[in-house]
Structure 1
Amino acid sequence: MAALVVVGLAAGGCSDGSDGGPRKADATSSASAAPAEVVTAASVGQLAGKLPQARRAQLVGEVQQVVDGWIDAAYLSGDYPRTDFAGSWPGFTAPAQAKAERDGDLMSNRDIGASIDGVEPQKRQLKLDVLSVRKRPVGVTARVVLRFATTGDTVKDVRVAGRLYLTKGKQGWQVFGYDVTKVAR
């Protein structure tokens, strides 16, 4: 199992294909567009190695802060319509941020930002697959699902899903790679 987590952490690529899973019907959301109304459901998924329960909870909080920062900056926050998505990748390493900027239509709402009036979050889910050595987390694959609806000239139900690969450095947990899909219907 540790080998699978390491392989997943090392993959660090990106794609814009489908995740292959069945798409469930969208749930009804509230009328407000405030991102804080839909809280991220976050938990530890797979664990390779040993990690005390208290440290697991701390890890979830630390990684969730990074992932939520990206979700909010790239998709949910800000005044729409907008075309400026600079700064949409807080918590990403410099190389991962540069790649995400090139993949801006996928890794943010750059593709639809000018034609929408707002977003209504519907689902935020995060599962962490953790590699732990000597009871210390050394690598995390964050499996992310985000669903939101847009309002304005472009009305769509959008699903962003995939994996963010994180490692801990001097600035804390940072995204160094990703494999994400974005589907708008």
Structure 2
Amino acid sequence: MVLVGLAAAGCSGSDDEPEADTPTPTASSSAATPEVATDVSIGKLAGKLPTARRAALAGDVQQVVDGWIDAAYLAGDYPRTDFSDSWPGFTAGARATASRDGDLMSNKEIGASIDGVEPEKRQVVLDVLSVKKKPVGVTAHVVVRFATTGDTTKDVRVAGRLYLTKGTHGWQVFGYDVTKDAR
């Protein structure tokens, strides 16, 4: 298992517009967060997957990805310093690594100096590996943008990939390759 976390000061604009076949905007999973719809779509598909299963897969994976986005960046009371619950839907190993990468994988480094976040963009494109018409692996290409308010005002962009597999507890993140840029 390979887990990678990278912090970057600048990123190319190509991550802002991942290629996808059919965008399907759906509502965010968090009622506590100001509404910004998550734009979820299927990108590349290796193998065959019926259309109905694609829609169900997109909804299931979106719940996991939105759970992380909300817990780590957008939801909750600010100012705060506790981000220990920022990785729901992550395997135990990925959660431990993300906790060590807390400044990257959450608002840990700025949480105490902001009083809120204003979501601007939530985009997820799913590359799917399907075997015998069943999804067995997903790479979720994620772009999140938000602005912070309070003593620290920043425009933050989180982008990268979450690697998911389906286990006994449903879809879970087992690895990631994420960048975070704040200006």
- Tell me the TM-score normalised to structure 1 length: 0.86
**Residues 97-134 of structure 1: CA distance to partner in whole angstroms, max 9, x if unpaired?**
00000000000000100000100000000000000011
Taking only aligned residues, the RMSD between alpha carbons, in angstroms, comes to 1.8
Q: Find the residue that maps to 2:13 and give its secondary structure.
A: coil
Residue of 172, 176, 182 corresponding to 2:180: 182
Separation of aligned partners in 1, 2:180 and 2:78: 19
Q: Percent identity?
A: 72
User: AA paired with 1:17?
Assistant: A
**Which residue is equivalent to 1:106?**
104
Say if 2:11 is the partner of 1:13. Answer: no
**Which residue is equivalent to 2:25?**
none
Preserved CA contact (<8 Å) 1:83 1:114: yes
**Which residue is equivalent to 2:155?**
157
User: AA paired with 2:7?
Assistant: D
Shift of 1:14: 2.2
Shift of 1:11: 5.1
Number of equivalences: 168
Shift of 1:17: 3.0
Separation of aligned partners in 1, 2:4 and 2:152: 29
**Which residue is equivalent to 1:4?**
none
Question: Could you list the runs of 4 or more consecutive aligned residues of structure 1 that deviate by over 4 angstroms after TM superposition?
Answer: none
**Residues 81-101 of structure 1: CA distance to partner in whole angstroms, max 9, x if unpaired?**
000001100000000000000
User: AA paired with 1:87?
Assistant: D
* Matching of residues 78-117 of structure 1 within 5 Å: 78-117=76-115
User: AA paired with 1:75?
Assistant: Y
Shift of 1:18: 5.9
Consecutive unaligned residues of structure 1, counting only runs of 5 or more, are 1-9, 26-33
**Residues 56-75 of structure 1: CA distance to partner in whole angstroms, max 9, x if unpaired?**
00000000000000000000
Preserved CA contact (<8 Å) 1:131 1:139: yes
Preserved CA contact (<8 Å) 1:12 1:165: no
Comparing 45-54 and 10-19, the one that deviates more: 10-19
Q: Identify if the C-alpha distance between structure 1 residues 24 and 52 changes in structure 2 by more than 3 Å, giving closer, same or farther.
A: closer
Q: Find the residue that maps to 1:37 and give its secondary structure.
A: coil
**Which residue is equivalent to 1:136?**
134
Separation of aligned partners in 2, 1:82 and 1:74: 12
Q: 1 or 2, which has the higher helix percentage?
A: 1
Separation of aligned partners in 1, 2:139 and 2:106: 20
Separation of aligned partners in 1, 2:15 and 2:50: 34
- Tell me the TM-score normalised to structure 2 length: 0.87
Preserved CA contact (<8 Å) 1:128 1:143: yes
